[in-house]
Amino acid sequence: MIKDLTTILDLSAADVSQLLHSAFRFKELHERGVRREPSLDGRVVSMIFEKPSLRTKVAFEVAATYLGATPVFLTSEQILASGQQERGRESVVDIARNLERMSDLLVARVYSHTTIRTLAETVRIPVVNALCDQHHPTQALADLMTMQWHKGRLCGLTVSYVGDGNNVATSLLQACAMMGVHFRIASPPGYEIPRAEVQRAQQLAAESKSELSFVSDPRQAVKDADVVYTDTFVSMGQEKEKEQRLASFKGYQVTSTLLGQAKKDVIFMHCLPAHRGEEVTDEVMDGPHSVVFDQAECRLHIAKAILSGLLREYHHECARPKG
């Protein structure tokens, strides 16, 4: 098991399989009504959030409590300076060094991936990226768990993503490429997944035999897919671009008609929050193919697996020295 989870690329396929196995064990315990497994009793999980959150915040707080750890939630108004030496604020480095002395693991939901890298490079304790502008690895792991839950396998599935080549799409692409899942994405010109991230995924796909496809026509992407996935067209921090983005993504809404191009037993996924009437219709969100709330539940089980795996490994082997 790795020490930090900053991107999906920190993991190997074996690491992902191990995390999924652990998450399904936690799911089984959850279904049996087991609400405590205090294997991390006495540990402290500090959660530093620059961005608002529902699923990520609750998932990690509940997961830490379930495992016997103490979650400490800190918003940007309380601590983070986003790397800027603002009056009355501390630098990210100084904040990290303080939290390292009082915590066993950091979970960070931030605007910039630079902040994630700075945290991981500064402290010896594990750092988990709970979302940044470029990556969302914990979401991608929950997505894989959802697919395995409903399809019984990962390798050989075809996932079609319709929409913006954002942080969610990037991490999902790389997770699928790593695990032998075929991945297609339909995005309008100018909104594709960054080329450097695509190249990293292609290297993984060459090993796993995953097929990757990048198109502009949603119907082409969705044809005979096992999974259809979308996300908001306007992410946090992009509100000023809303009108332009909605115009660019006209024709990319996941409707029942578009979903009908996929396999009959297709599942529909969305990382939430959903902007109903924009990227997806109510009919699809609330329809028989939708597994979006199972997908949200998987965030909890994955959070337990991540905290349990990283903290046990870290305290067993100790962290590598930091420069």
* Boundaries of every domain in the chain: 8-135+299-317, 138-296
**Model pLDDT, residue 81:** 53
**Model pLDDT, residue 314:** 72
Query: In CATH, which of 3.40.50.1370, 3.40.50.970, 3.40.50.2300, 3.40.50.720 is domain 138-296?
Result: 3.40.50.1370
What is the radius of gyration, based on Cα positions, of the chain?
19
Looking at the predicted structure, is the pLDDT value of residue 313 above 90?
no
Contact 232, 278 (CB under 8 A): yes
Average the pLDDT over 248-271 and give the result.
98
For 227-252, letters b (16+ CB in 10 Å) and e give bbbbbbbbbeeeeeeeeebbebbeeb
**Model pLDDT, residue 87:** 47
**Model pLDDT, residue 88:** 55
Average the pLDDT over 198-213 and give the result.
98
Average the pLDDT over 141-168 and give the result.
98
Residue 118 CB coordination number (10 Å) = 20
Contact 126, 4 (CB under 8 A): yes
> In whole angstroms, what is the distance from residue 264 CA to residue 278 CA?
24
Looking at the predicted structure, is the pLDDT value of residue 240 above 90?
no
Average the pLDDT over 181-203 and give the result.
98
Looking at the predicted structure, is the pLDDT value of residue 70 above 70?
yes
Kindly list the catalytic residues. Answer: 109, 136, 139, 231, 271, 299
Contact 81, 28 (CB under 8 A): no
**Model pLDDT, residue 168:** 98
> In whole angstroms, what is the distance from residue 50 CA to residue 237 CA?
11
CA dist 23 to 28, 53, 68, Å? 9, 21, 17
Interacting residues of 26 by C-beta distance below 8 A, sequence separation 6+? 37, 300, 301, 304, 305
Summary mean pLDDT of the chain: 93
Are the folds of 8-135+299-317 and 138-296 the same? yes
Structure tokens at 228: 């259809």
Interacting residues of 232 by C-beta distance below 8 A, sequence separation 6+? 163, 164, 273, 274, 275, 278, 279
Architecture of the domain whose range is 8-135+299-317: 3-Layer(aba) Sandwich (3.40)
Contact 10, 4 (CB under 8 A): yes
| DSSP secondary structure letter of residue 88 | T
Phi, psi of 126 (to 5 degrees): -65, 145
For the segment 81-120, what is each residue's pLDDT rounded down to a tens digit? 544 444 457 889 999 999 999 999 999 999 999 999 999 9
**Model pLDDT, residue 319:** 40
186: helix, strand or coil: strand
Looking at the predicted structure, is the pLDDT value of residue 151 above 80?
yes
